[in-house]
Structure 1
Amino acid sequence: MSLLEDLNWRHAVKAYDPSKKVSQEDLHTIIEAARLAPTSSGLQPFRLIVVENQELKEKMVQGALNPEVMRDCSHVLVFAAWDSYSDEKIDQVYDHHTDVRDLPRGRFSSYTDKIKEMYGAQTPEQHFEHTARQTYIALGFALAQAAELKVDSTPAEGFSNEIVDEILGLRAIGLKSVSLLYLGYRDEQNDWLSTMKKVRVPMEEFIIKK
């Protein structure tokens, strides 16, 4: 199938079959798609927390808009962004870049000095607004890869960030949750959306030509 066929196939599943689990191979492929997503300055200012432990999911259900979806899906992917930028974080990323490419450390210092100055003039709140936006690119890549593998998915912002952050200990490692991605396989009888036509804004309305 083509990418467009895969995207037409997928929908935000409303009920999962708890007896069906995503294979480790497919899970790894979906995570790899997210890892390969582009980010501003190549900083990858977020991490992906993979939750398959049922006890953890039961705790995270508190405050979830669709608790049964979270409870019954196979895995929950938590997209969590850096709470702020720092010179140390930027240096660590670019040291990794140069090491992998067999280049001397500091090779990109003229560029990193500029972004350090830019972020240094901003507040932590502005930093998080930026890092959080980066996660959505990776979320889109993961959604597309899941669709290609015929793994059902549901992107979600309807949950308590505070509860998820506390349960997963994210603040202690400088992260804040942004969005979730539920993965699994639809419950055909109870997923009311699965029998409905996909609805999007018509192409002629979606495109604004100038």
Structure 2
Amino acid sequence: MNLEVKTENYIENLYWRYATKKFDKERELSEEDLEKLLESVRLSASSYGLQPYEIFVIKDSETKKKLKEAAWNQPQLTDSSLVFVFANFRKIEESHIDDYLNNIAETRKTTRENLEGMEDMLKNTILSFSEEEQRIWGAKQTYLALGNLLSAAAEFRIDTCPMEGFDNNKFDEILDLKNKNLTSSVIATVGYRSEEDNVQYLEKVRKSKSELYTIL
């Protein structure tokens, strides 16, 4: 494997990506490409590895229309192939931590007794947060997963548009999130750019390295 070539391709793909405003309504994401995105997001970093959120992948056209109305009629909601809705827990319960520890024990072929130190640390930390602190912390974790989605999609030459411009309460109502102990935090539309989206032909604008970085 030529790592130098792969690195160059990755940087090239990051230059290629942009927040797509006009999607090709006729191009659907294949199941194979969707699976690659789902696995990429599943492997996202998360504090303690807890992943205190769920992700809804909206394909249904009627649901997308409802979400579009709750996002001030931005066309990406219905023109894109899919809508990813990241929703963090409203309240992190002890059962969430227990489920995570059971998953660790099963995956790593160990016992819960061997995880007692980790269990005490997680419960003494996370369960001591107020519900508001838990929601803020959980929402931050969804943004880590969103970043992985954007980066992975660029690598696979799939277009995305991350979006915060939506009515959180209406999204929660449409997707019945409150009854699932969830609240929407951020969304991303996914599909393929339209040739009519002129933004794709513009140079990417970012801070220079000297402006952005301080190396001590």
Give TM class, smaller chain: over 0.9
Q: TM-score, normalised by structure 1?
A: 0.95
CA contact (8 A) 1:155 1:179 kept: yes
Following superposition, the deviation at residue 76 of structure 1 comes to 0.2
Structure 2 counterpart of 1:207 = 213
Partner of 2:39: 32
**RMSD across aligned C-alpha pairs, in angstroms?**
1.3
Instruction: Structure 2 unaligned segments of length 5 or more: list them.
Output: 1-5
TM-aligned CA deviation for residue 107 of structure 1: 2.1
Contact 1:10 1:152 in 2 (8 A): yes
Aligned match of 1:164: 171
**1:106-137 residue CA offsets vs partner (Å, 9 max, x unmatched):** 32121221221222322101001111111111
Number of residue pairs the alignment of both structures matches: 209
Contact 1:7 1:147 in 2 (8 A): yes
State the alpha-carbon separation in 2 of the partners of residues 167 and 154 from structure 1: 21
The letter for the 1-side match of 2:163 is A
Residues 1-210 of structure 1 aligned to structure 2 (within 5 Å): 2-65=9-72, 67-189=74-196, 191-210=197-216
Stretches (4+) displaced over 4 A: none
8 A contact 2:70–2:171 mirrored in 1: no
Aligned to 1:158, the other structure's residue is in SS state: coil
Q: Distance in 2 between matches of 1:109 and 1:36?
A: 25
Q: How high is the sequence identity, in percent, across the aligned residues?
A: 34
Which consecutive unaligned segments of at least 5 residues does structure 1 have? none
Letter in 2 for 1:13: T
1:209 shift after superposition? 2.9
Looking at structure 1, the residues matched to 113 and 180 of structure 2 have their Cα atoms a distance apart, in angstroms, of 26
CA distance in 1, matches of 2:92, 2:99: 12
**Residue 65 (structure 1) shift:** 4.4
TM-score (norm 2): 0.92
SS in 2 for 1:67: coil
What is the distance in 2 between the residues matched to 1:18 and 1:65?
19
